[in-house]
Each structure stands twice: as structure tokens, then as C-alpha cells.
Chain A
Amino acid sequence: MSHEQPQERPQDRPLTRWQRFKDNDIIWSFLHSPGAMIAAAITVFSILACLFAPLIAPFDPFDPSQISLWDGKLPPAWVEGGQPQYLLGTDNQGRDMLSTILYGGRLSILVGLAAVCLGMVLGVTLGVISGYVGGVTDAVIMRIADVQLTIPGILLAILINGIGRAFLPLELRQEFAVYVVIIAIGLTDWPQFARVARGATMVEANKEYVQAARIIGLPAWLIMVRHVLPNTLRPVLVIATIGLALAIIAEATLSFLGQGIPPTTPSLGTLIRVGNEYLFSGLWWITFFPAIALVVLVFAVNLLGDWMRDALNPKLR
């Protein structure tokens, strides 16, 4: 109920950080929603599996000595003609599918995380400034965001990616392809973060604690960093989670279109692309398993984001 007073415990010792954490409503909500827990388990499992790919993967897809073209295009182990050491079969170059998916997923998650971080830092910075300062600054920043949002994200990413690669000398393109992709997706992402951060900032900036800080005489940047920013992070966190799923998809799409990571470096997108060419020759497993991995990962992250949106929204509780 709204007017229940907090229990007063003047004589108690202040809670430790760990007690506070356990007592937190969000942690409680998490432990009481099975969907969120399953989603989190899948996400954590996928991320760990990908991060420790070199330790768990049965083969190293980058080691030419382990690859033999003779073993190429083998179906999964349980299908006729499959070999037990290649559980999910092999691709056209004879690489073990399971190992390639783990290594590829690693790259996809890394690119997704880095791109979201870039978009978040850029978007939140601009959004908070926009919402707090207002006036012309606000108008300029938000109109840029509006214009950017009129262009479909993936086209923009392709554009930025193309420009980025054009500026790199030929011999560095391969090496820096991953960074170019991260920048391309990150730059595409920022308006979402800016909008959310700006909205939250405008709400917070009118609250009395911000006015109190202004009366103390704190400079605007300090108020933004110390007072406004921490209070805008909840909605930002929600869209960052959903943004992670979108960034992973964006990377896959770019790579699928041949605009992202070169096919020699496996990512989920490049694997699906390569497999796509063999789909009609009956080699379904080359594209099917990476696609399933992508769907499961994105679905779990999205579920997590959905739960987080509900749990962090005080109005829905």
C-alpha cells in the first residue's frame, strides 16, 4: 500500500552492502520470476560458454593443422554418415561446427557488448546534457537524433561500416574489421539511449533534490554527474539489455550481408551466411545450428530485458 510507513529502526546498526543487496526488491523479484531466472541462466551459460571457447571447444577452428578438407561437409553425429568427434557436423572447410559456433558466438557477444557500451556512453551523455541544459542545445542534439532515426538502422550501419573501411588501408581492413563493426553499430544505437536518458533527466531535473543542489551552488556538470545520472540509469539499463540483443542481430546481419566480419573469422553471422550457400545442397546443419544459437541467445537476452523493464518500473509493481 502506498502509505505504509517504513519500519523505523533507529537503534539498529546500518545495514551492510550485502544485506542491502539481499533485501533489494529487484533481487527479490528476480528470485520469484522463473522466466527471468531461466533467461538469465541461458544468457550466463551462453556467455560463459563463448568466453571459455578455447577451453571447452573440441577443436580450434583457427588452427590449420586441425582442419582437414577431407572431413568437410560432414553431417551431425546422429545422422547417417556423421562422425562422432564432430557432434554438430562440419562446414565446407572441414571445421567442427560446435567449436566454430562457440568461437563465433564469442565474437558476436563481444561485438554486441562493445557496441552497446559505445552507444550507451554516447547516447546517455548527450541525452543527459540535452535534458538538463534544454533550449538550443537540446533542440540541436535531439534533431540530429531524429534525423538519424529516419534512416533504417542497418542501412546506416552499412554506410558507417563502408566509410570506415574505405578510410583504412587495404592491409589493415581485415584486422580492424571488428572495430569498424563495433563503431558502426554503436553509432547507430545512440539515439535510443539519448531519448530515454533525456526523458528521465527532464523528470529528475525538476525534483527538489536537484534544486537543492543548485542552491548549494554546485556547477551544472557536477549536478548532472552526481545527482541526475545515477537516477536515470534504471530505464537506460533496460534498453541496454534489449539493445544488446539488437546489436548481436545487427552484427549477424552485417556479417550475413558480407559487410561485417570477414568469413575467415567465424561469427554467428558469417557462419549463417556461409551455410546459406550450401542450404540447397542439403547441407542444412551449417546454417541451422548457428541460427539456433543466435535465436536462443537473443531470445534469452530479450526475456531478461522484459523482466527488467517490469521489475524496475515502480508503476507496474
Chain B
Amino acid sequence: MTELLKISGLDVDFDTRRGTVHAARGVSLTVRPGEVLGLVGESGAGKSTIGNAIVDLLESPGRVSAGSILFEGEELRGRSEAEMRRVRGDRIGMIFQDPQTSLNPLMTVGAQLVETIEKTNGKISGAEAENRAIELLEQVGITEAKARLLAYPHQFSGGMRQRVVIALALAGDPDLIIADEPTTALDVSIQAQILDLIKQLCRERALGVIIVTHDIGVIANIADRVAVMYRGEVVETGDVAQILGAPTHEYTKSLIAAVPRADRKLDRFSSVDYIEGGTTPFKRIDIQTHWLGESQRERGSGPAIEIENLDLSFTLQKALLKRNRKMLQAVDDVSFTVNEGETFGLVGESGSGKSTVARLIAGLYRPDGGQIRVIGQDVVSHPKSATARTARRALQMIFQDPYSSLNARMRVLDIVAEPIRFYRLTDRESETRKIVGDLLDHVGLGASAALRYPHEFSGGQRQRISIARALASRPRILICDEPTSALDVSVQATILNLLKDLQQELGLTMLFISHDLPVVRQMCDRIAVMRNGGICEVSDTETLFSAPTHEYSRHLLDLMPRMDLLGEA
């Protein structure tokens, strides 16, 4: 088969005030018609840069400094902006990550499609263009296409919007489609549909497709061939079965080993020392004798968290009269119990209310009705009372976004020491500093991190700082709200290992919230499945994965990415 796209020896440089950053070095790739090439790598690997370089959409100050991009035998480098614009619409289509921002909210879907069709097809009458738009919408699986032409993007759901974006990419009848993380912003159930659609279009129209993603699951589902990128270089290229099943490069091996397995439970994630520095603890502290372990002696025997018939609704639309208000029942009659020392998982898709439950327990929201007891103390009826405050102090939370969960204007020392200083948990400042150093050592950052500011750390390292801050209150319960979903898969493995270790050493109770079933399987003892604010099912992890009782749990399990290509890593 001939090659549709052939990139050889591509270098992309970004000149910054701190020197030149080589975003891509010597990248060589080929795409054939009717083939899906997966470009996989972690953040900063340069995978999006490659996609943008092909269509000359590099953000300033990026530039292609060497190599060639042959598209259907023609060189794309050095073309004028006008020529590239024709190539982009006509022959290469783009699908971006966020369907929210890739459509113009002020234009109807039909108008956007017709505009693109007219621009790319030259002479075509309005009626023809409209028929073509209807045809395209039908092809991407939108029913009642004719009526939908008059709808605005906000009237579409996320998945439907991404379908429209795909239709737009197809409008110029391109030969190559570059999809940059096309499903990252979507829920799993929609992700599967979109991937199927892309694959089907690729086969039917003999399109070449480049899927840029960080998600091994997406690659396993859709790609024919895979190129693995690491720090701007392609380290390995091959068939999907070979790359996932029998990788040869060290980086690929460690990357694949770090992917959480849904099919069986492992004791620990295989640790990836290839990527991020500072994963091995600098110095372990002996918890039993250390300050940090002192609170363990207070351990009781009852349940750590009990919630009964919890209700909370948010006002969507304010109104003076009650009947005109629009409310969203975010949490609907939720009850469960978390026992001391166990890890309890809350899973569900976005909007299922799982994070809201966590914030209710943490006291960030007040429930409309129901009971919350933390270590046996009622924390709802008198939230300001001394008993409720003491109970709440036993509870800390780790957040999803490592970039907004630390105050950028404070040193790490002050961030971690804040609870210690506020509650005067130590007698002297020197003691506080020593404990902060120990904590930072223990989470694998090293005591020297104390004098730095958060922006000097990567996402995974920041999450370690968050963990150290949570531990500084000497909590008995840790709520983890999607603690790793913003992180790369290799970093995720190390953070999850750290959480597991800490839990065992300190006997922590954990409430672990995630949308990622494989992760939940590795972390949790018991799991509650949530949907639309209610609980579908609560059961032991192994029972849930082997014999789910609720229909929705089965549905979620079916949607898990197939990992059968992965070998016995």
C-alpha cells in the first residue's frame, strides 16, 4: 500500500527566553489509507506538537526546524498560509479535544456545516450544500439530521457535539484526519461510541487517521499501528498487538506496566522509575514512634463514616416563587457506611454526584436532609459545635487538580505546616519544621522541597505536597477525590502506590472517588456505584467485578477498555 503521509526526521523547536525547547526531535511516521495510527505519550511528550506541525498550526514561537512532511507525495513544509488553509479544510481534517470550544456557539450547527462545505467544495449551490450537511450528520450517527441543522451547539450533548465536530472535519472530504485527544473530555459510554464511529469512517472511506492520545485504553480499542513518544522522540513504532503485548523499548514497557488493570487485582502497581524523579522515598520514618503515628492510638472500632438518606439539590435557576425555580437533585437519598481502616470506592460518570457526596462529608456543602456521622459524631445538626469540629479534624481531603489545590503564593513549608501551626500540634517552630521535612521525605519529595514554591513542581509532585498537607493534620480518614485523573499514567501508578502504603502504615480509612474502574478495582475494598445522584449498588470489589447485580454496573463494566492485548506484565 502507498503511504498517505510520510514524516521523516521532523524537528520542532520552541525558542523561549530560557533557551530552545526541542518539542520534537527526528520524528518519522507513516500513515496509510484506511489505517488508524495511534500517537501515544505522556504530557509534554510532543504528541500534539506533531499533529499541529503537520497542518502548520504550531502555536508561536514553535517552528519546524528540520525534516520533511510528505502528504500524498507532496511536501507540506514551506507552503504559504493560503495554500495550507486549502490543505487543512480540503484534504486534512482536524478533530480537537473539547467539543465545547470547537464549535461556534452563536451559529447553528447547519450554518457551520454549510459554511465549511461551501468553502471546501468551491462551486456548490446552497441547497446542495445543505443536502450534503444532512448526509454528513447522518453519517456520523445523528438522527433527524434535517431538523437538527437549525439547532445551536448548546442544544447538543457533549457526545453529539463531538459528532458534529467529526462531521465538520469530514466536510471537505479529506484523506487524512488528525484527532487530538478526541474522547478525553467525554464520559466512557460516549467515548466508546465516538471511537467506533472514527474507526468505521476510517474503514469505509479509506481515510488515514492519526489519533493523538495519552490513554492506552483508547489505543487498544482503535489503533492499527502505534507510535510511542517520549520527550519529543518516537521510541517505538509497531502494530498495536506487538506494542501493547510485547513492547521492546524500556519506556514502553514501563508505561504499559503502569496502566491499571481491570481484569485482575494486583497488590501494588509496578513502579515506574523511568519517568519521574523522586519516586523512591528519600528516608522512611518509623510511623510507630513518630509524631505522625500518635493519633493512631485514638482509633475506635465503630464505622468511620456513616451517612443516611443524604439529600442535596442545587438551584439551577433562581426565582422568587418556589414553583418557578429549577433545581438539580445532585444527591438523592444516599446512604452508606465506611468502616474504619477500609478503602471505600465511589464510582460513576461525570454528573453522578460522587464528588458532591465527598464535599458534603468534608463539610464544604450543607445537606438539605439526612445524617452524616464522622467517627460516630453527628456533624450536620450543629456543624459549629466543638464535637463536630473535632470529628471533622480527623478527616482530610485530596483534590483532583494539582494545579489549583495549592496556594501559589505560599512556600511548601507554609502550606504543609498550616494545620500544625493553626492547631498548635507542636510546641516549637523548630519541631514543626522538622515534622514538615519528615512528611515531605515520607511522600517522596525530600525535605529540601520545603523552601520552594508550588510552581516549581510537576503535577505528580504537587499531588505529593497535597498528600503531605493532608497528613499534617494527623487524619484518620482521607477523602481522595479523583486524585490521579489529572496525572499521567506513570505518575498515577506512583501516587496510588504511595496512597496504599500510607493507608497501611497509618491505618487510614479512605473514601476513594473515581470514574476509572480499573483504578478503583486496584484501590478499594468495597465500592458504591452512583448514577444521577443516587446509589445503584454497594458491594465488595471482587463481587462487583465478577457478578454485578445492577444493570448500570454491568453497563459500566462493559464499557471498560479491553485490555486483552496487554501481556502478563
Contact = CB atoms under 8 A, between A and B. Distances in A.
Interface of A: 1, 3-6, 8-10, 13-15, 20, 28, 207-209, 211-218, 222, 226-227, 230-231
B405 A14 contact: no
Contact of B407 (A5, A8, A28, A209): A209
A227 B405 CA distance: 11
Interface stretch (B159-167, B217-225, B452-460): B452-460
Contacts of B422: 216-218, 222
Using C-beta atoms within 8 Å of the partner chain, give the interface range for chain B. Answer: 35 or more
A8 to B, nearest CB: 6
A5 B458 contact: yes
B458 A8 contact: yes
Contacts, number: 90
A214 B363 contact: yes
Interface in B408-431: 408-410, 418-419, 422-423
Given A6-B457, A10-B277, A215 B397 contact: yes
A226 B393 CA distance: 20
Nearest to A2: B59
A9 B363 CA distance: 38
B44 interface: yes
B43 A6 contact: no
A9 B446 CA distance: 12
Nearest to B457: A6
Given A1-B14, A3-B43, A215 B404 contact: no
Contact of A231 (B395, B399, B407, B470): B407
Given A1-B59, A14-B452, A211 B277 contact: no
A208 to B, nearest CB: 4
Contacts of B418: 213, 216, 218
15 contacts: A1-B14, A4-B14, A4-B21, A5-B43, A8-B277, A8-B278, A8-B458, A208-B399, A208-B404, A214-B363, A216-B422, A217-B393, A217-B422, A227-B407, A230-B409
Contacts of B407: 209, 213, 227, 230-231
A211 B397 contact: yes
Sorted nearest first, the 5 A-B pairs with minimum C-beta distance are A208-B405, A14-B451, A208-B399, A230-B409, A207-B404
Interface in B448-472: 448, 451-453, 455-458, 461, 466, 469-470
Contacts of B455: 6
Contacts of B406: 209
Contacts of A20: 453
B364 interface: yes
A110 B418 CA distance: 39
A208 B451 contact: no
B391 to A, nearest CB: 11
Contacts of A4: 14, 21, 44
B323 interface: no
B364 A215 contact: yes
B224 to A, nearest CB: 26
A101 B59 CA distance: 50
B278 A10 contact: yes
Contact of B23 (A1, A8, A211, A231): A1
A40 B404 CA distance: 33
B392 interface: yes
Contact of B409 (A1, A217, A231): A231
Given A8-B278, A215-B364, 7 more contacts: A1-B59, A1-B62, A215-B392, A215-B396, A216-B419, A216-B422, A217-B393
